[in-house]
Amino acid sequence: MAHLIDGKMLSAQIRDEVKAAVALRSASGKRAPYLAVVLIGEDPASASYVKGKAKASTEVGIDSDTMTYDASISEAEVLDIIERLNQDESVDGILVQLPLPAHIDEQKVIHAISPAKDVDCFHPESVGNLVIGLDGFQPATPAGIVEMLKRTGIETSGKHCVIIGRSNIVGKPLANLMLKKGIDATVTVCHSRTSNLAEIARQADILVAAIGRPNFVTKDMVKPGAVVIDVGINRVDDESRERGYRLVGDVDFEAASTLASHITPVPGGVGPMTIAVLLQNTLKAAK
Ligand code: NAD
């Protein structure tokens, strides 16, 4: 049976490190880092992510404010809010929770955030720094995955990392991180138009699923001994739960665990790591 990679435990380590660094700053008379979170609309998943981020910030001594707006807010108003946050010296990090309502251009909003405060690492300047290997903010979910691998003692150098999914949030930035000097994986990115996907997945030493479909990764896609990282967060109906659903990943966990050397659970895997990296980025922004 595969070894379970405990994202809760590993993220707690990172949060403790951030907490200690924040305490050190305040001992030297510096103010607490400040994260401004902008939430637009009523999407329950977004509201729950934002709540988790705010709570985690408070726990490590980062001040955070969640600014909530009705879904009917205009694009111009959102850009105005961001400009005010850009100018406000007491704000270190700005996070606009995605997705945005359809009438607001996501890319315009991302472009408007000052790269110095871009703790989500979505701005083209941040992405460019990542691609050419310059120091900058870390893309939260991909960097959380790399931290998991490092802290679990998993070798990445020369290993074949197959990523399923090519989104700007997970697949593409993760591919760039895994290629970075010092991490040194050989990377293949698969997507909805990839033919022979199972055959490619089976070649992975490290298999990352970031698709958004429950049980997409089946046993025949996993090489014996592979490390399986499940990024997916999917709601499936479950009448036995009070809320009527449960969260599952993109991997058929039961089947893959019988072959993999290491595997991440959902929930309790990549999710908590994402928040921990956001806190690291906010601390970095304050520095
Ligand atoms: P996305 O919808 O932007 O991208 C999904 C990707 O999957 C696309 O690149 C697409 O090409 C690929 N895909 C879709 N169908 C496919 C198929 N049949 N075969 C091969 N590839 C296919 O999603 P995303 O934002 O990257 O998120 C993916 C999943 O990860 C979602 O479940 C999301 O909720 C989750 N997620 C989790 C975290 C976290 O912190 N754990 C963070 C971000 C996203």
* CA atoms of 232 and 56, how far apart (whole Å): 21
Q: Are residues 150 and 250 located together in one domain of the fold?
A: yes
Q: b/e map of 128-160 (b: 16 or more CB within 10 Å)?
A: ebbeeeeebbbbbbbbbbbbbbebeebebeebb
Alpha helices in 161-236 (DSSP H): 171-179, 197-201
Q: Can you tell me the mean pLDDT for 22-39?
A: 97
Please list, in sequence order, all residues whose beta carbon lies within 8 angstroms of the beta carbon of residue 117, skipping any fewer than 6 positions away.
85, 86, 91, 92, 93, 94, 285
CATH code of residue 146: 3.40.50.720
Determine the distance separating the centroid of ligand 1 and the alpha carbon of 86, expressed in angstroms: 30
Domain total of the chain: 2
* pLDDT tens by residue, 120-177: 999 999 999 999 999 999 999 999 999 999 999 999 999 999 999 999 999 999 999 9
Structure confidence at residue 46 as a pLDDT band (50, 70, 90): very high
What is the sign, positive or negative, of the torsion defined by CA atoms of 261, 266, 267, 270?
positive
Length of the chain: 287
Closest CA to 127 of 117, 116, 138: 138
Determine the distance separating the centroid of ligand 1 and the alpha carbon of 233, expressed in angstroms: 9
Q: Are residues 110 and 171 located together in one domain of the fold?
A: no
Is 108 a domain residue?
A: yes
Q: Are residues 64 and 172 located together in one domain of the fold?
A: no
DSSP annotation string for 71-89: TT--HHHHHHHHHHHHH-T
Cβ < 6 Å from ligand 1: which residues? 141, 164-167, 169-171, 190-192, 194, 197, 210-212, 231-234, 270-271, 274
**Where in the sequence is the domain holding 171, given as residue range(s)?**
140-270
Q: Can you tell me the mean pLDDT for 177-199?
A: 98
